[in-house]
Structure 1
Amino acid sequence: MQNIENLIFDLGGVILTLDMPRAEQHFTALGVKDYNTLFRSGNVSSFFKDYEVGGISDAEFLEALRNLAALPLTDEELVAAWNAMLGHFPEERIALLSKLKNKYRSFLFSNTNALHLITFRKMYTDAFNGNVFDDHFEKAYYSHLLRMRKPDKESYEHIIRENNLDPSKTVFIDDSILNIEGAEAAGLKGIHIKPGTSILDIDL
């Protein structure tokens, strides 16, 4: 890719696979009814976003999740169901990240949360001989630690400013068109990973 010096990757759906049906199965098995209405509608409870920007604690999130499910579920049951959406790290995607790091300044920007971060970091370490996932990047940005989330323009501008990036020479890669539009509003070049494709299909 010509005149590109920097890459910013999304995580879920781009590097890490997601398994939303498995999450639904876990919650349904616990007795949750109307999973799609509660968890996947456009009107999903605001506490999900609050958790993504570090606005509430793990305990507060789990209590809100328990209230949403309207069931006397234990923290352990809720955490297991919540983490069920996390798939795996395909080896060929990880190999590509290692290759691209030698060619570009590479960063990560993920809308995530504390419980997921602990889990997918451990998943990666277990799957890749004790290695550390974040080592693939010059810096990894996680929304709950950054206290900003995509697609807010300010979140991209913070990363650009902190790393002295030239937006016109920086590509942001995400599977959400809304996040791509937010990145482009901040001057970044966007690549949308559409369903049925992956980062292996990008000419980088």
Structure 2
Amino acid sequence: MMHSNIRHIIFDLGDVILNIDIPRTVHAFSLLTGRSDEELFLLFRENELFRRFETGSLSAPGFRNLVREVLEMPQLQDDQIDTAWNALLLDIPPARVTLLQQLATRYELYLLSNTSSIHIDKVNLILKESSGVPQLHDLFKKVFLSYEMGIMKPDPVIYEMVLEQAGIEAQHTLFLDDNHDNIIAANRLGIQTIHVQKPPTILEYLVPYA
């Protein structure tokens, strides 16, 4: 790979910039409902809660109402649902924010995330508390969020939309994601990619570009 060809860098959010732990959300709902993690995982999957919310087919109120319906717990309050839903969101290490700010002096930075409005509101709070940066939009030239775009990775159309709306070319673009399917889909369009896998973080992966 020729690093000198890269002009634009697109970042995934979860486990790339923000540390996450998805089972924590399932367990948080388990504590609320008394049901097992395994039963809840199946319920969420069968009702496509993540996909429907993260593609914008459900609004935040619609999502909360569906959660109450699926869990058969109409008494659940909005804040209880939001807190459990956000349990998977951990922290944003300040060093990663500093790296993004340094990279922004040399490259155009973009964010592309499969996410929901409830998560993004919480992520912005985490970001501000950890680094003083008010919101994700302050770190990137443009932020692309699945629930606003109506489509999710790894659908190739979402990458085509990003390239077109950002006005950038695939061959001059680097994409970082922790999901292998997302990486493959981007790579097929000619986008250069880095599959972020723990324990290394973007601090180590992006040494050649810093």
Relative to the length of structure 2, the TM-score reads 0.89
Q: Aligned partners of 1:8, 1:57: CA distance in 2, in Å? A: 26
Deviation at 1:88, TM superposition (A): 1.0
Cα displacement (A) at 1:132: 2.9
In structure 2, what is the equivalent of residue 9 of structure 1?
Answer: 11
Determine the C-alpha separation between the residues in 1 that align with 2:189 and 2:201.
24
Deviation by residue 1:102-137 (Cα, 9 ceiling, x = unmatched): 111110001101111111112212332353321111
Quote how far apart the aligned CAs of 1:197 are. Answer: 1.9
Which letter does structure 2 place at the counterpart of 1:13? D
| Counterpart pick for 1:62 among 64, 68, 78 | 64
- 1:24-103 aligned within 5 A: 24-39=26-41, 43-72=45-74, 73-103=76-106
Please tell me whether residue 193 in structure 1 is matched to residue 196 in structure 2. yes
- Partner of residue 164, structure 2: 161
Quick check: 1:38–1:44 contact (8 Å CA) kept in 2?
no
CA-CA distance at 1:37 after TM superposition: 4.5
Tell me the distance in 1 between the aligned counterparts of 2:69 and 2:48.
Answer: 13
Identify the residue that residue 173 of structure 2 maps to in structure 1: 170
Q: Structure 1, unaligned stretches of length 5 or more?
A: none
Aligned pair count?
204
Deviating above 4 A after TM superposition, structure 1's stretches of 4 or more consecutive aligned residues are: 40-44
Answer whether contact 2:174 2:193 (CA < 8 A) is retained. Answer: yes
Instruction: Indicate the RMSD between aligned Cα atoms, in angstroms.
Output: 2.0
Identity %: 31
Q: Which protein is richer in helix relative to its size?
A: 2
TM-score, scaled relative to structure 1: 0.91
2:148 corresponds in structure 1 to 145
Secondary structure, in 3 states, of the residue corresponding to 1:173? strand
Which residue of the partner structure matches residue 109 of structure 1? 112
SS in structure 2 of the partner of residue 2 of structure 1: helix
Equivalence map 1:129-144=2 (5 Å): 129=132, 131-144=134-147
Contact 1:18 1:87 in 2 (8 A): yes
SS in 1 for 2:53: helix
